[in-house]
Chains A and B, each alone.
Chain A
Amino acid sequence: MPSRQRGAPGSGGASAEGERELLSAADLARTVARVAHEIIERTAPDGGEQAPPVVLLGLPTRGTYLARRLAERITEITGAVVPTGTLDPTLYRDDLRLRPTRALAETELPAAGIDEAVVVLVDDVLMSGRTVRAALDALRDHGRPRAVQLAVLVDRGHRELPIRADYVGKNVPTNRSEDVAVRLVEVDGEDGVSLR
């Protein structure tokens, strides 16, 4: 099942009709490559000894794979190895009481830790900002990064918190009732983003 960032709860069950493709597989690859370039420009992961290390932390499930893809691109371009990890913010969410309990996802930080690093959080879709807020809280319990940045594949608006992405793959104006479905080969067998 593709990842969905849904407006009103219970608005699921959208059928294939009325589905609009936002990014094809080729578009998605180009977008990841562009964001990788932007991260290099801003953080200089090949900056040598004195530059702070850069760590890409994906938010499960698809953010984890996006973080790995971004790290591969960055290594291809600069030769620098960027550690990646995954951070599950579930236990820090502020909406736990509003839904049935969720399963926990994986949390795995690079062995070197995140202290004094520039941490780039990576997620597939940015909407309310509540997941990112929870991730910021989770991060604080793991250490003290020098800076935290946010990279998302799709920014669909409808923010409920003062949170902004540093790197955006694609801005998509959406209706709250619509779903943004991100599909990645690693999870869904194919790449693409669609709106329904």
Chain B
Amino acid sequence: MTVADGTSTGIGLRHLLSTEALRRDQAEALLDTAAGMEQALTGRAVRKLPTLRGRTVVTLFYENSTRTRVSFEVAGKWMSADTINVSASASSVSKGESLRDTAATLGAAGADCLIVRHPASGAPHRIAAWLDRVGHSHLGAEGHVAVVNAGDGTHEHPTQALLDAATLRARLGRVEGAHVAIVGDVLHSRVARSNAHLLATLGARVTLVSPPTLLPVGVESWPVAVSHDLDATLGGDAAGGAPDAVMMLRVQAERMHGGFFPSAREYAIRFGLSQARADRLADHAVVLHPGPAVRGMEIASSVADSSRAAITEQVTAGVHVRMAVLYHLLAGEDVA
């Protein structure tokens, strides 16, 4: 169940809380719109669209972020929305205000959209459910505050998965049928979870490559294959074929309390994308990293800087994807 259902808007999106709940037609519409946004902004004298004039987008971040918060803000501003950034450390949250009260306050203050990042999995879902229950006078009887999950704990980060899919589309020309290896700290990665579901929905084949200690419980129910040997996966697996894309995940030391692997050095040797490993990839294969990358740990510096890596393209795609998300959540008619 999610509150992301509802069929009356163009693609039937009220909130964007997870990729698991996203239908294929919705995901493809978002990617098509993102491509359209890129095209609409290319080679222009003025990089500003009037589409969301008079709409207010609030980013509510309980965790640090550079690229996600900035790209949401840029996406909103390029479509003429008013964007306001709230960070937990500089708000009433530091005085002890609850998540529910903070969300209600921002809704009552006139937000049309809340972009939420929170260390607790499920926090954006709760906010969406709370805000759906109360009316918002500035939005009329039918109006609702749209909630976008910008990363919740170890659960999901749907816009990251969408921008990864957009990057793969641009680089490979397709997502369907592609083989994508997601390598590293899957346990703590909302990026891995969102990508596994979205890529499967879009028809790609996903292999998770990770030490057993860094795989989440219940991974066998995900639409993916699992490997513990990076070299074997890069060489091609039983289902046929080496990966068309390798997505390296950051080892999230801040979420680790205990020994998940013997040493950073051993991890880098067994699961890092070294130059030697990158050289074995197919010519067309793409290297993705959601950032921030820890060079020398999960990815060698020379690989991160090579033309194979699409790391900066991912950031650019992130702006277009977030424009597409805001467009579909905010531009059309508001329905209950």
**Which residues of A83-128 are within 8 A (CB) of B?**
88, 91-92, 96-109, 113
Partner-contacting stretch, out of A20-28, A36-44, A136-144, A151-159 = A136-144
Contact indicator B46/A106 (Cβ below 8 Å): no
Query: Are the C-beta atoms of A88 and B36 separated by less than 8 Å?
Result: yes
- Closest A residue to B328 by beta carbon equals A101
A80 to B307: give the CA distance in the assembly, Å. Answer: 42
Chain A residue nearest to B323 (CB atoms) is: A91
Residues of A within 8 A of B (CB): 88, 91-92, 96-109, 113, 137, 140-144
Q: Is the interface of A mostly helix, strand, loop or mixed?
A: loop
Residue of B nearest to A93 (CB): B51
Q: Could you tell me the distance in whole angstroms from the C-beta of B334 to the nearest C-beta in chain A?
A: 7
- A144 CB to closest chain B CB (Å) equals 8
Would A104 and B36 be within 8 Å (CB), given that A91-B49, A143-B45 are in contact?
yes
Count A-B contacts at CB 8 Å. 69
Q: How long is the Cα–Cα vector from A44 to B37 in the complex, in angstroms?
A: 35
Proximity bits, B29-61, A CB within 8 Å = 1, else 0: 100110011011001111011110000000000
Choose from B40, B45, B79 the contact partner of A107 (Cβ within 8 Å): B40
CB distance from B196 to the nearest CB of A (A): 27
Q: What would 13 A/B residue contacts be, using CB atoms closer than 8 Å? A: A91-B79, A92-B50, A97-B332, A97-B334, A99-B333, A100-B333, A101-B9, A101-B327, A103-B10, A104-B37, A107-B39, A141-B44, A142-B43
- A141-B45, A142-B45 given; A103·B29 CB < 8 A: yes
* CB–CB A92/B51 < 8 A: yes
Note all chain B residues with C-beta closer than 8 A to A144. 45
B residues with CB within 8 A of A: 8-11, 29, 32-33, 36-37, 39-40, 43-46, 48-51, 79, 327-328, 331-334
Bound-state CA distance A184–B332 (Å) is 29
State the Cβ distance, A117 to closest chain B Cβ, in Å.
Answer: 14
Partner of A141, one of B8, B37, B48, B328: B48
- A100 x B9 contact (CB < 8 A): yes
Q: Is the CB of A108 within 8 A of B39?
A: yes
Taking CB atoms, residues of chain B closer than 8 Å to A101 are: 9-11, 327-328, 331-332
Q: Chain B residues near A88 (CB, 8 Å)?
A: 36, 40
Whose C-beta in chain A lies nearest to the C-beta of B9?
A100
